[in-house]
Structures are given as C-alpha cells and as structure tokens.
C-alpha cells in the first residue's frame, strides 16, 4: 500500500491541476473521491475517476471540458445531476455533494444537495469514503472521516455507518461487499458480514441485471471461489443461484459419503482461472456438475451415483441463463456444450484411448476442444497425487492423439464430403429417412476410421449403403421392363 505522499505525487499532473483550476475559477472545493482514491493507495490501475464538488457537478464538468479543449467529450445526465468528461481512455465523473434517503421497496434514493461530509458518509464502505482535495489551495489534503486508510492497511471492508441501514437502504451493496472482498483479497468485517446475513432477503428487490454485473466481476477476479463461498455463507447464494447452493453438503449412507460437490466445483473454478481469463469457460467450470443434486442416487452395489448429470446439466443451463439474465446467445450454448461434454475426456483416459473415440470427441467439441480439455484437466482435484499424475499423463496422450488425428483426417468441424443434396440428386429422390441413414453411415465410417475423410471413399460408401436400401443412381438404375404382350391372349375369343 502506498503512502499519502506517493499518492499525491501521482495526482500532481497537469490533468488534475486543470480540474482544480476549473473549480477555483468558480470558487468551488473539488475532491477526487471513492474507488479511484482507494485504488491509488492500493496501486491498482484505474481509468474512471470520480470528483465531488459542493454545488453543481454539471457546471464544473462543463468548465473542465472547455478547459481541456480538443479531444474532450462531455456527456450530461441532468436527471441524475452528474456529468462525464471523456479524454482519450480516461473517464472523469463529476457530481455535486449530496445526501440520500430511501424508500424500503426501492434502492433508488431521494437525492438532495448536501455537504462533503454527508456525501462521504452515504458511501458503501470506509475504503471508498476517502477524498483528496485538488484545488490549488490545499492540494493533496486527505479527508478520511471513517478511518478508511486504517481499514485498507488491515485489508478489511466495513461500512461507514450502521451496516443494517447501509444494506437495507441499497441491498446491492451486499453484492458489492462480496465482489470487493474477492477482487481486493480483503476480509469483510464480522459485524458487516453478519448484517449481510440478516439482510440477505432484501436482495430480492435488486434486478437480475445488477446482480449479474457483480457476479461477472467476481468471475473475472484472480480467485473467483472467494466470492462464491462468501455468497453461500451469507445466505445470498440460495436466493440468486439456488441450483449452485444445492450442491453444498455431503450425504452419508452405510458409512459412505460423497465429496462436497460445491467445494469441488470451486476448486475446479479456481484451477480454470489459473489457466484462462475466458469468463465463459469459468462459467462452464462453475456449472459443470450443476445437475449432481438432482441426479444423486444411492446404489447398494455402486455407492453414490450421478448418472447422466452431464446431459441433464446441459439442459439446465438455458433455464438458468434465462432466469439470471445471462446472455441468450452463443455464450449460453458454449457453456451448455462444456457441461454436456465434460465427462467425455475423462471416460477416454479411464478406458483405452482409441482413435475412434478421439475422432468423435474432436468432432463433437469442434473449436471448443481446447477449452474442454482445460476444464477436464481442472476437474482432477483428487488429493491422491499418484492418481492425478496418472490421469494427467493420459490427458497428455489424448492431446497428442487429437493433434495427430486432426492433422491426418481433418476431423474438427468437418462436414461429410457427401451431403443430402447430392444424395437426392444421385438417386432422384426428394426426401425420406434413407437420406439420414446414408449421411450417418458416412459420418460414422469416417469417425471410426473405416474410410478417410475423402470424397471418393465417401461417394463409394454412399452407393453401397443406398443399394442395400434398394436405391440406385438415376443414370444406372435397372430399366423398368414393360409386360410382354406377345402371348397375351386376353383379347382373343
């Protein structure tokens, strides 16, 4: 964590002095506030900088935009009393100091003009309630009414005022607490966390879109499991993602239990996060076992089973995405595919790694094969290091086979060399199940290595299978013979 002197040195640049001079020109105090100040102390990059003035933030923003000149874009939001100045890749947000009051059934506050002290006291956490003056007179003066610096040094998150009031007024702050704890690797102060537990039900007034915004930030964090574990322990998870919450716990029958699928899932998620920044691959990791609670059965011979949890889980993904307002597009289909296929590579390494099985895996996974393999390798969370070593060695064998087979047979995303149109034209038919039969026979023959992914071989097989079903090319089909009427005496007396 940086000292105040180093932070002030970072602010001692023409941009901040220009904003201070603009405020001085209308005799207004102006402060950099909130997350940008916190991030300066924590040495985190920040492109969004918030400023508070006592008076009209819009008026100050208009003067700043004019002062910065060419290449500056001003956006005014009069309904909210805010304005934004964009300059290159930096966004400057201006607002007047304000105080707020809330209706219990809405997180939208009634906003009134206020003092700097009132503005800072309404902020969510002490580490976000810091302000640094940027006027010429008093430049670099720190306002820290709630010991936010001390909390940063202790790496704790605490509310400036009564946490029950803070979270009841704006329940989204509960999600923000967990998100900040995950991003910053901070601990939520015990009294603050207990207030989240007490007020968890209030999350129901928050829109799914707002909640998902926070979840996406948790998922992009270096160690996303921290956030999901806090969501579970706070009681929020059961309200916003009950299918994931249902994975927690271990049942025991006849002395035999199964692993805690929730914490196994978090381990897989963190393993994936170490390897990839792809947030949708991380969602795939989070949901790969999502159907285990609904497929869990006890079998006296086999013990605990989760039959078809991958297929059922894949069917659950679209419903969960719709409810949570996650994207209903290729991203949802990608996650569902990972959930459905995540058992396939594991089944391969437990059995003999045949060319046919690898070809089918490459074909079914398509361009997502590498992500699927990353997920499957992350899914090996056994504490038996010898078992882990053996499985990972087999995965490496699968990867080598995939490279070899794909280079030789061009299996990834392949389309059989003979399509339905050619089948219909060749045999003079317009439809029927036989077309699908021929296409499946060609595809399976290629995947099983019976023929190469080659037009001539596929065409020859098409003729063979068609003949078995009584179909012949229209140009060579046996001619239909007319009845021989030479000895037809049907018209004789």
Inside any domain, residue 381 = no
The predicted structure's pLDDT at residue 102: 58
Same-domain status, 198 and 116: no
Least confident of 11-20, 66-75, 402-411: 402-411
Torsion (CA) 50, 54, 55, 57 in degrees, nearest 10: -10
Among 152, 186, 209, residue at a domain's last position: 152
Q: Give the per-residue pLDDT at 489.
A: 45
Predicted confidence (pLDDT) per residue in 159-180, tens digit = 999 999 999 989 999 999 999 9
Residue with tokens 């040094």, as numbered in its chain: 153
Higher pLDDT residue, 405 or 144? 144
Residue 220's domain comprises 155-240
Give domain status of residue 410, yes or no.
no
The predicted structure's pLDDT at residue 490: 42
pLDDT of residue 100: 64
CATH number of the domain where residue 129 is located: 3.30.460.10
pLDDT digits (tens, 9 = 90+) for 351-405: 667 788 888 888 888 889 999 999 999 998 888 888 888 888 888 888 888 888 8
**The token pair that represents 111 in the structure block:** 């906003």
Q: Is 28 a member of any domain?
A: yes
pLDDT of 12 over the 70 cut: yes
Domain membership of residue 39 (yes or no) is yes
Please tell me whether residues 15 and 135 are part of one structural domain. yes
pLDDT digits (tens, 9 = 90+) for 199-212: 999 999 999 999 99
107 falls within a domain: yes
pLDDT in tens, 424-463: 989 888 888 999 999 989 988 888 888 888 889 999 999 9
Identify the CA nearest to 128 among candidates 170, 74, 168: 170
Confidence of residue 36 (pLDDT cuts 50, 70, 90): very high
Domain identity same for 142 and 169? no
pLDDT of residue 480: 47
End position of a domain, from candidates 210, 240, 270: 240
Do 111 and 217 belong together in one domain? no
Residue 193 has pLDDT above 60, yes or no: yes
**Residue 479 pLDDT more than 60?**
no
pTM for this prediction: 0.84
Q: Cα-flanking dihedrals φ and ψ of residue 160, to 5°?
A: -65, -40
| DSSP β-bridge partners for residue 98 | 113
Is the pLDDT confidence value at 493 over 50? no
**Do residue 198 and residue 91 come from a single domain?**
no
- Asked, for residue 293, whether it belongs to a domain, the answer is no
**What domain count does the chain have?**
3
Q: Is residue 305 part of a domain?
A: no
164 and 142 assigned to the same domain:
no
Q: Does residue 145 sit in the same domain as residue 12?
A: yes
Predicted confidence band of residue 309 (pLDDT cuts 50, 70, 90): very high
Give the position of tokens 């006296």: 300
pLDDT value at residue 111: 64
pLDDT at 389: 86
Residues above pLDDT 70, as percent of the chain: 93
Identify whether the C-beta of residue 182 lies closer than 8 Å to the C-beta of residue 227: yes
Taking residues 216-242, report their average pLDDT: 97
- Do 31 and 166 belong to one domain? no
Q: Which of 152, 169, 188 is the last residue of a domain?
A: 152
In a domain, 455, yes or no: yes
Q: Looking at residue 173, which CATH number applies to its domain?
A: 1.10.110.30
pLDDT value, residue 6: 92
């Amino acid at each position: 964590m940086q000292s105040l002197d180093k932070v002030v040195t970072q602010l001692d640049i023409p941009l901040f002095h220009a904003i201070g001079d603009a405020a001085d020109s209308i005799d207004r105090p102006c402060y950099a506030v909130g997350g940008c100040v916190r991030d300066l102390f924590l040495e985190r990059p920040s492109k969004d900088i918030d400023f508070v003035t006592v008076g009209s933030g819009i008026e100050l923003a208009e003067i700043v935009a004019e002062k910065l000149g060419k290449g500056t874009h001003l956006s005014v939001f009069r309904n909210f009393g805010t304005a934004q100045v964009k300059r290159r890749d930096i966004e400057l947000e201006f607002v007047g100091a304000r105080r707020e009051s809330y209706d219990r059934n809405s997180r939208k506050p009634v906003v009134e003009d206020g003092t700097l002290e009132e503005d800072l006291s309404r902020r969510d956490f002490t580490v976000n309630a810091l302000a640094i003056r940027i006027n010429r007179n008093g430049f670099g003066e720190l306002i820290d009414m709630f010991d936010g610096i001390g909390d940063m040094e202790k790496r704790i998150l605490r509310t400036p005022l009564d946490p029950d009031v803070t979270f009841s007024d704006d329940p989204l702050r509960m999600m923000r607490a967990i998100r900040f704890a995950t991003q910053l690797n901070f601990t939520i102060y015990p009294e603050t966390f207990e207030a989240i537990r007490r007020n968890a039900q209030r999350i129901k007034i928050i829109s799914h879109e707002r909640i998902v915004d926070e979840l996406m930030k948790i998922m992009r964090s270096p160690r996303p499991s921290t956030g999901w574990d806090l969501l579970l322990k706070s009681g929020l998870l059961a309200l916003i993602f009950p299918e994931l919450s249902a994975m927690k716990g271990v049942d025991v029958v006849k002395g035999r239990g199964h692993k805690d699928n929730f914490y196994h899932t978090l381990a897989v998620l963190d393993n994936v996060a170490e390897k990839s920044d792809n947030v949708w691959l991380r969602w795939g990791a989070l949901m790969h076992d999502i159907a285990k609670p609904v497929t869990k059965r006890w079998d006296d011979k086999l013990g605990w089973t989760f039959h078809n949890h991958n297929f059922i889980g894949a069917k659950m993904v679209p419903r969960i995405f719709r409810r949570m307002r996650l994207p209903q597009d290729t991203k949802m289909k990608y996650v569902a595919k990972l959930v459905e296929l995540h058992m396939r590579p594991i089944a391969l390494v437990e059995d003999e790694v045949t060319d046919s099985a690898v070809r089918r895996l490459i074909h079914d996974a398509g361009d997502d094969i590498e992500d699927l393999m990353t997920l499957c390798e992350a899914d090996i969370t056994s504490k038996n290091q010898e078992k882990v070593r053996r499985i990972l060695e087999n995965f490496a064998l699968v990867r080598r086979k995939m490279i070899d087979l794909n280079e030789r047979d061009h299996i990834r995303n392949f389309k059989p060399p003979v399509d339905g149109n050619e089948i219909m034209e060749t045999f003079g038919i317009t439809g029927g199940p036989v077309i699908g039969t021929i296409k499946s026979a060609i595809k399976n023959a290629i995947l099983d290595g019976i023929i190469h992914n080659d037009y001539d071989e596929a065409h020859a097989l098409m003729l063979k299978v068609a003949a078995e079903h009584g179909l012949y090319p229209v140009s060579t089909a046996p001619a239909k013979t007319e009845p021989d009427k030479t000895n037809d005496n049907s018209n004789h007396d």
